[in-house]
Amino acid sequence: MVVGVGAVLGILLGLVFVCGGLLRWNELRYRKKGLPPGTMGWPVIGETSEFLKQGPTFLKNQRARFGNLFRTHILGCPTVICMDAEVNRYIIMNEGKGLVPGYPQSMVDMMGKWNIAAVHGPRHKAMRSAMLGLISPTAIRDQLLPKIDEFMRSFIRCWSDQVIDIQEESKELWLHSALKLIASVETGPLAKDLKSEINKLVLGTLALPLNFPGTNYRRGMQARRSVVSMLEKLMEERRASPSSQLDMLDSLLRPDDPAKPKLSDEQIIDLILTLIYSGFETVSTTTMMSVKYLHDDPKVLEELRNEHFAIRKRKSANDPLDWNDYKSMTLTRAVIFETLRLSTVVNGVLRKTTQDMEIGGFVVPKGWRIYVYLREHNYDPFLYPEPFKFNPWRWMDQSLESNQCFMQFGGGGRLCPGKELGIVEIAIFLHHFVTKYRWEEVGRQKLLKFPRVEAPNGLHIRVSNLLN
């Protein structure tokens, strides 16, 4: 018995010794003059589990210990976390100095080597300019907005007297609307197949790059292959067709300006996937959260309804919305910005260094990742008095939108090219939704804000006709 207790104690002491040694070894491995302060956790896994489990609390604790710029090891990489608004702005604005996007390998594998977030320099310029051409303000005004309007009307038409999961519906809404804008794909078997494969692909972008049967990464790569072959078939059919369509695929296959460089099929496919993927989570989450905040704040909802009824008053029942209507939706725009801020749809963006670099008074070694953590800037009481209150009116002062600390759409050469399109989508949805329906939440809804904003069990609402 005595020997047994001794042996257990011995094993425990041994374990403590080995663990302490491993932690110490891992710290020493990264000790280099000038590095930001911080801890590196365990070999290989670093502090990933603390980061994922405790999220913002972990980051705030580390900030309290080490300051606004600290080092850690998360998601397989030595990483510097930056929570200083000025330094974050500097990092975002200075890609040319060697601060290039640092998104995980799985994302690059799923989205393709031509996806805008994975390319730099002249390749980035070419792909970005092709995308900007498709979603420019003129394209939105003349082609996209009327299609979005028509789509939204029909999409929400049969919601009356239904209980719906607004989280799922918001995803469907973006996906179907994107497929329609990109390739005139209507709701039907092709849209259904694409949706199911794109969902797997999106899960794959967040998975560890482990190519084994049953992993999300393997499923994502298989899904990418089937989406690519569906898009190739669409392109083949489009080329064979004598008539043209007014959509993005046609503009890419038959550009009006022959002087513009033509994209290869591989580039077109990666561009289309980037278009779908980039709006998938951002637009759908903002849509869901705006419904949530409006539900919780009847005063804002009432004012918002007034704004939209004023637009309807100028039109007959079935008149479509136009650019001027959209431009008059000032409170709606403010609701969207406040939703982005308060729910922090984008927690941060990732960069990596292409050489040893001095940042914020420290040296960040070549190849390290930088997590430009944006979340805390959204709750800065100096910029946003009563930061945890849903107060869209603060955005009626237009200068707030261009404030240097508001980086929910990124900045510099990577400023979100889909910003206006995303806002148009959500604004038009809100127009039809608030003028037709009222809604109440069903049951208690759990909401997570980190690492992404989501309702793990869905966000269920009972929808009824406003006029009943």
φ/ψ of residue 359, rounded to 5: -135, 125
Q: Which residue type, as a one-letter code, is found at position 129? A: S
- Choices 83-91, 154-162, 193-201, 412-420 (CB under 6 A): range interacting with ligand HEM: 412-420
Interacting residues with ligand HEM between 131 and 160 (CB under 6 A): 131, 135
274 near ligand HEM, judged by CB under 6 A: yes
Instruction: Tell me if residue 271 falls in helix, strand or coil.
Output: helix
Contact status, residue 170 vs residue 186, Cβ threshold 8 Å:
no
- Choices 33-41, 218-226, 260-268, 277-285 (CB under 6 A): range interacting with ligand HEM: 277-285
Using CA atoms, how far apart are residues 344 and 132, in angstroms rounded to an integer? Answer: 25
321 near ligand HEM, judged by CB under 6 A: no
Using CA atoms, how far apart are residues 236 and 246, in angstroms rounded to an integer? Answer: 17
Instruction: Tell me if residue 410 falls in helix, strand or coil.
Output: coil
Q: Which residue from 46, 101, 133, 209 is in contact with ligand HEM, where contact means CB under 6 A?
A: 101
Neighbouring C-beta atoms of residue 394, cutoff 10 Å:
18
248 near ligand HEM, judged by CB under 6 A: no
286 near ligand HEM, judged by CB under 6 A: yes
What is the smallest separation between the CB atom of 135 and ligand HEM, expressed in angstroms? 6
- Tokens for 298, please give them: 């009847």
Helix, strand, coil in percent for the chain, rounding step 5: 60, 10, 30
The answer to the question of whether 158 is labelled as a binding residue is no
* Sequence-ordered list of residues with C-beta below 8 angstroms from that of 374, at least 6 positions apart, any chain: 88, 344, 346, 347, 348, 349, 407, 408
Total of residues contacting ligand HEM (CB under 6 A): 26
Closer residue to ligand HEM (CB): 216 or 290: 290
What is the smallest separation between the CB atom of 399 and ligand HEM, expressed in angstroms? 20
Interacting residues with ligand HEM between 337 and 356 (CB under 6 A): 340, 345-346, 349
Neighbouring C-beta atoms of residue 295, cutoff 10 Å:
17
Contact status, residue 112 vs residue 275, Cβ threshold 8 Å:
no
Q: Which residue from 111, 179, 283, 342 is in contact with ligand HEM, where contact means CB under 6 A?
A: 283
- Taking CB atoms, the residue at the shortest distance from ligand HEM is 418
Closer residue to ligand HEM (CB): 204 or 279: 279
Q: Which residues here bind ligand HEM, judged by CB under 6 A?
A: 101, 116-117, 128, 131, 135, 274-275, 278-279, 282-283, 286, 340, 345-346, 349, 408-410, 414, 416-418, 421-422
